[in-house]
Amino acid sequence: MALLDLLGRRATLGILWALAEGPASFRALQERAGGIAASTLNTRLAELRDVGLIERTDAGYALTDDASALLEAGAPLVGWADDWAARITGPDGESR
């Protein structure tokens, strides 16, 4: 599954989540994505552009309609993951 291979690469999902907040310049995106290394960010941006999930606009990098649909399709998984994390985390916030 090519999509899952791409999404499983370091920082890919973080970049998509960061762009869900709206378009961003390279530096702003780097900050939003948790300080990802510039070389990794460059590589992932090129890969995501090549497959049509992000585009370069006047406002910076932005999600395409396909990427927005992908994130919407993944919303139930995010909800499940939040519930799961709450179940496996103790009262002190530490994982069991």
Question: Residues 5-63: pLDDT tens digits?
Answer: 999 999 999 999 999 999 999 999 999 999 999 999 999 999 999 999 999 999 999 99
Q: pLDDT category, 89, cuts 50, 70, 90?
A: confident
Average pLDDT over residues 55-84: 94
Unique residue bearing structure tokens 């919407």: 72
Domain assignment present for residue 21? The answer is yes
Contacts of 6 (CB under 8 A, 6+ apart): 12, 47, 48, 51
How confident is the model at residue 3, as a pLDDT?
A: 86
Domains contained in the chain, number: 1
Domain that holds residue 43: 2-88
- The pTM for the full model equals 0.83
Q: How many CA atoms lie within 13 A of 30 on its CB side?
A: 12
- CATH value at residue 63: 1.10.10.10
